[in-house]
Amino acid sequence: MTSAASTIPHLRFAGVRKSYGGTSAVAGLSLDANAGEIFGLIGPDGAGKTTAMRIACALLLPDAGTVAMLGHDVVTSPQSVKRHVGYMPQRFSLYGDLTVAENIRFFADMYDVPSAQRREQEERLMQFSRLAPFRGRRAAQLSGGMKQKLALSCTLIHTPEVLILDEPTTGVDPLSRQEFWAILKQLAADGHALLVSTPYMDEAELCDRVALMHHGQALAAGTPGEIKAGFTRRLLEITGQDALTALRRLTQKRNELAVSVNRFGDRIHIVYDEDRQRENVLSLLRGLDMSARHVEPDIEDVFVERMEREERTA
């Protein structure tokens, strides 16, 4: 990497907007993803993640704003997109009748990868995806996790600097997910820039930086640690034998107390702002076999806080 290149982010969104009819899908998104970094777009269905990714791949034109790939505007120089980007859409089309190796060769041909280079890259991909024992198996016969690894391998055949992966782990079991994320970490360590979307909050922790997406906007952006540090409320966890009674009392009084009450299995989380509210909650639980402790928020707690704040100001 030259010093000149390192000052330009691999992928830059600047004020990107896109509407479908009257519905705003992406409402002013700006972010940078650098070499060696996994940037996560975290958010539910309909948050604008896919639209943002399709704009970055020059498959959709933005209404406003720009996306630059290694400094090249994707609208004015679409060829740079093809050369520098590997895009794995949510439903990646593998050819079910072709074997693992044939699928990889097909994508190599689509991207005009010279055959010597293709053979070398194919070996590397087989190694790191651990698909080598299955190279003669037809894609239709692979498990869900293996299909995702093959799709990723096809995306990487032309050695793109930037990888854009749309919900690559949705519907994949936890073991395969862990393996898939280990591969993504390795790709980042090798110097790729990765933009990865996921609806699942726990995957935010695996990214270097994330944007919490809602209604086409980033509610918050930064490292997972920075995002959690931005939680402005306080969190009390209540557990014990009398959880159901406690929950009943708390939900009855939640408006009066001006706190949020959430049940997670046998744990109750209270989100509050002031000492006085905590005292009120604790006095409500007097006589019950319950204990309370302060806990740190996770990404989902922050997401919920920001969504509620957004709705109050809307």
Partner 1 sequence: MSESSAASDGCAVRATQLTRRFGDFTAVDGVDFAVSTGEVFGFLGANGAGKTTVIRMLCGLLAPSAGEARVAGFSVNRQPDAVKRHIGYMSQKFSLYGDLTVGENLQLYGGVYGLKRHDAEDRGRELLSRLDLEQAADRLPTALPLGFRQRLALGCAVLHRPRILFLDEPTGGVDPVARRKFWDLIYELADGGATVFVTTHYMDEAEYCGRVSIMDRGRIVALDTPDELKKQNGARTMQDVFLKVIRP
Instruction: State which residue, 229 or 244, has the beta carbon closest to partner 1.
Output: 244
Instruction: State which residue, 288 or 304, has the beta carbon closest to partner 1.
Output: 304
Least CB distance from residue 207 to partner 1, whole Å? 16
Angle, helix 144-155 to helix 100-110, in steps of 10 degrees: 30
Return the structure tokens found at 48: 């604008």
Least CB distance from residue 158 to partner 1, whole Å? 29
Q: Give the C-alpha separation, 230 to 222, whole Å.
A: 10
Instruction: State which residue, 108 or 131, has the beta carbon closest to partner 1.
Output: 131
* Residue 93 DSSP code: -
Return the structure tokens found at 44: 């539910």
Least CB distance from residue 35 to partner 1, whole Å? 29
Least CB distance from residue 230 to partner 1, whole Å? 16
Q: Give the C-alpha separation, 49 to 68, whole Å.
A: 17
Instruction: State which residue, 145 or 168, has the beta carbon closest to partner 1.
Output: 145
Give the burial class of 292: count Cβ atoms within 10 A of its Cβ; 0-12 exposed, 13-18 middle, 19 or more buried: middle
Least CB distance from residue 157 to partner 1, whole Å? 25
57-93 burial code (b ≥16 CB/10 A, e <16): bbebebeebbbbbbebebeeeeebbbbbbbbbbeebe
Q: Give the C-alpha separation, 253 to 251, whole Å.
A: 5
Binding site for partner 1 (CB under 8 A): 43-47, 143-145, 170-178, 199-202, 214, 244, 262-266, 300, 303-304, 307-308
Instruction: State which residue, 63 or 179, has the beta carbon closest to partner 1.
Output: 179
- The answer to whether the CB of 56 falls within 8 A of the CB of 69 is yes
Instruction: State which residue, 83 or 138, has the beta carbon closest to partner 1.
Output: 138
Instruction: State which residue, 161 or 167, has the beta carbon closest to partner 1.
Output: 167
Instruction: State which residue, 108 or 261, has the beta carbon closest to partner 1.
Output: 261
Least CB distance from residue 263 to partner 1, whole Å? 6
Alpha helices by DSSP H, listed for 140-271, are 144-155, 174-189, 224-229, 243-257
Give the burial class of 222: count Cβ atoms within 10 A of its Cβ; 0-12 exposed, 13-18 middle, 19 or more buried: middle
Least CB distance from residue 8 to partner 1, whole Å? 34
Instruction: State which residue, 58 or 250, has the beta carbon closest to partner 1.
Output: 250
122: number of Cβ within 10 Å = 21
Least CB distance from residue 159 to partner 1, whole Å? 29
Q: Give the C-alpha separation, 221 to 72, whole Å.
A: 24
Least CB distance from residue 290 to partner 1, whole Å? 16
304: number of Cβ within 10 Å = 17
The three-state secondary structure class of 68 is strand
